[in-house]
Amino acid sequence: MIRELTFQQGNYLATKINCSCGTECSLELKRGNFVYHEIDEKLDKYFNLSTKTFIFRTVNGKEFELTPPNIGLQKAFGDYILKENNEKRTPNLAFLKIIPFMLSGRTTITYDGIKAKLKEFEEIDDISFQFLNAAVGKMTFGVKELKKNCVACGEEVRAEMQFPNGASGIFVIHDAFEAYLKE
């Protein structure tokens, strides 16, 4: 998402895949082409039907209510990340991954609202943080593969979403130490 927001139009990483009709298709790394993993079924029994949220109690006596962020919240956090990026601040990605899931019942949040949540969050105890990070990991609709329709025949083409050095390889230059050190 950061990449899409930052690079704007027409600057996507892409992978080439041959359709069964013989046409070579370019599958861009963008959200419109993503196929997501399902939410981990281990979470099913914590889903509360009346609130439509997941409710977890942890060993340190805390209770957390989590729900995947709706479009309004996703947009608010997207705008926040874009603003931070434009103003050369590094967003706290560890918390920005978790906070959108902790705003059950809300449809949006202001820039200052996110700032306040971040401040609140930086005080969180380690067990809670580790738990939330893991829980959100299970709820995050991780990208499984890429798909789009072939431009020639319209059939669906799919490609695995794999990066040689993991997903962070999109942003982090592998071996930057050796690559950029002037000897």
Nearest CB to Zn ion, comparing residues 40 and 155: 155
- Per-residue DSSP letters for 29-41? -SGGGEEEPPPPG
Applying CB under 5 A, does 150 fall inside the site for Zn ion?
Answer: yes
Taking CB under 5 A as the criterion, the residue among 93, 127, 134, 152 binding Zn ion is 152
Buried b (16+ CB within 10 A) or exposed e, 151-169: eeeeeebebebeeeeeeee
Q: How far is the CB of 156 from Zn ion (least distance, A)?
A: 9
Nearest CB to Zn ion, comparing residues 154 and 164: 154
Could you give the angle at which helices 71-86 and 111-121 cross, rounded to 10 degrees? 90
Q: How far is the CB of 32 from Zn ion (least distance, A)?
A: 18
Nearest CB to Zn ion, comparing residues 76 and 150: 150
Q: How far is the CB of 68 from Zn ion (least distance, A)?
A: 33
Q: How far is the CB of 25 from Zn ion (least distance, A)?
A: 7
- Per-residue DSSP letters for 114-137? HHHHHHHHTT--HHHHHHHHHHHH
Closest CA to 43 of 120, 135, 158: 135
Q: Do you know the residue count of the chain?
A: 183
- Side-chain-side CA neighbours of 164 within 13 Å: the count stands at 5
Residue 51 tokens read as: 């609130």
Nearest CB to Zn ion, comparing residues 114 and 157: 157
Applying CB under 5 A, does 143 fall inside the site for Zn ion?
Answer: no
Applying CB under 5 A, does 147 fall inside the site for Zn ion?
Answer: no
Nearest CB to Zn ion, comparing residues 20 and 92: 20
Q: Which of residues 12-71 bind Zn ion (CB under 5 A)?
A: 19, 21, 23
Positions that interact with Zn ion (CB under 5 A):
19, 21, 23, 150, 152-153, 155
